Amino acid sequence: MGTTEFVIAGLLPEMAADLNVSVSHAGLLVTAFAVGMIVGGPAMALATLRLPQRHTLIGALAVFALGHAVAALSPFFTVVLTARVVTALATGAFWAVGFVIATTTAGPARPTRAVGGPRSPSGPRSGPFARGGCGWPSARPC
């Protein structure tokens, strides 16, 4: 869930060709996810405030997985774009609730240690490597 926003940057030319759009148009997939996260984090935190945190995390992960499956299997740009926005909303919900759980679990002395950690600077560069010989939608058979 930590690299989904950036990995496709390295796959844009291949995705654009498969989806019959220009590379710059395919770049909207990155932008749409970013906007979904900006809006989704606070909005989904408020929308799920009264739900049990565990159910929110499980639901967000399920929507995230389903959204990526839809995006990988769809040959239509608009469906992939919509799936990216939906997965961004789910990611926002997951991170909002996950940070609260992590900081609460860590206690008042170490809340920042609970959510801190190393980040990979190779996000966009890992996309072409991760696809292997199967093409960008890893759910499709080689």
Q: Is the pLDDT of residue 133 over 50?
A: yes
Q: What is the pTM of this model?
A: 0.76
Give the containing element (helix H, strand E) for 44.
Answer: helix 28-47
Cα angle 126, 138, 125; round to 5: 10
pLDDT value at position 1? Answer: 61
Q: What is the tens place of the pLDDT at every residue in 71-108?
A: 989 999 999 999 999 999 999 888 888 888 888 888 88
Nearest Cα to 126, choosing from 8, 26, 30? 8
* CB 80 within 8 Å of CB 92: no
